[in-house]
Amino acid sequence: MTTPQLKLYVDAQFISPYAMSAFVTLTEKKLPFELLTIDLSTRQNQDSSYASVSLTRRVPALSEGDFHLSESTAISEYLEQRFAAPDYPAVYPADARQRAKAREMQAWLRSDLMPVRQERPTEVVFYGDGYAPLSPAARAAADKLVAVARAALDGRESLFDQWSIADVDLALMINRLAMPGDAVPDDLRQYAQRQWLRPSVQQWVQQAQSMKAANP
């Protein structure tokens, strides 16, 4: 069996939502790849060897031969163009405006809602850790998330005519609230649960659970 040309570097803890997003993109596109882990707790990402792979010294990072790329949306967009439909499954909408809206959603989720991200880190999603009630600032951010998600979904089961990688990113943000038991409308809770049950997402979740079991 030949070694896959594509390599994906992710956090050894399997709690990075951005590493998960890149992992899901590769898996959904049915691309063979080698999964490599970087231990952020020991600052392995600051080693010079990793800096030669990830310009930003963050996870995820993708390698294809001597080409290296970091940042999850850049990775997903590159893979979508490099391994395009119909030869490979699409992870972004075909329509240009819908594709732009998917990227808008991804950019927003990565740059806003900081109180929610601080008070509900992804340990609550992947490890089931408990946390104190939301502060007023986090509750306000959560209310904004609910309003934006409902407006974007508009009653549909996915953001666009077909599933996209932006659905997984939005579902993860909703699950920061839903999984620890914070107030989330039933329609959004069900939407996030449907996304979470995708086989590609579950492959990542199982990696996180295995890591947690090995390091209780």
Please, which residues bridge with residue 123 across strands?
none
Give per-residue pLDDT as tens, 180-199. 999 999 999 999 999 999 99
Sign of CA dihedral 43, 44, 45, 51: positive
pLDDT of residue 106: 98
pLDDT of residue 129: 74
pLDDT of residue 44: 87
Count Cβ atoms within 10 A of the Cβ of residue 49 and give its class: 0-12 exposed, 13-18 middle, 19 or more buried. exposed
In order along its 216 residues, the chain shows pLDDT tens digits of: 454 699 999 999 999 999 999 999 999 999 999 999 999 989 989 988 899 999 999 999 999 999 999 999 999 999 999 999 999 999 999 999 999 999 999 999 999 999 999 999 999 999 987 789 999 999 999 999 999 999 999 999 999 999 999 999 999 999 999 999 999 999 999 999 999 999 999 999 999 988 888 876
Give one DSSP letter per residue of the chain, joined into a string: -PPPSEEEEEETTS--HHHHHHHHHHHHTT--EEEEEE-GGGTGGGSHHHHTT-TTS-S-EEEETTEEEESHHHHHHHHHHHT-TTTS--SS-SSHHHHHHHHHHHHHHHHS-HHHHHHS-THHHHT----PPPPHHHHHHHHHHHHHHHHHHTT-SSSSSS--HHHHHHHHHHHHHHTTT----HHHHHHHHHHHTSHHHHHHHHHHHHHHHH--
Q: pTM above the 0.85 mark? A: yes
pLDDT of residue 130: 78
pLDDT of residue 128: 87
Give per-residue pLDDT as tens, 106-134. 999 999 999 999 999 999 999 987 789 99
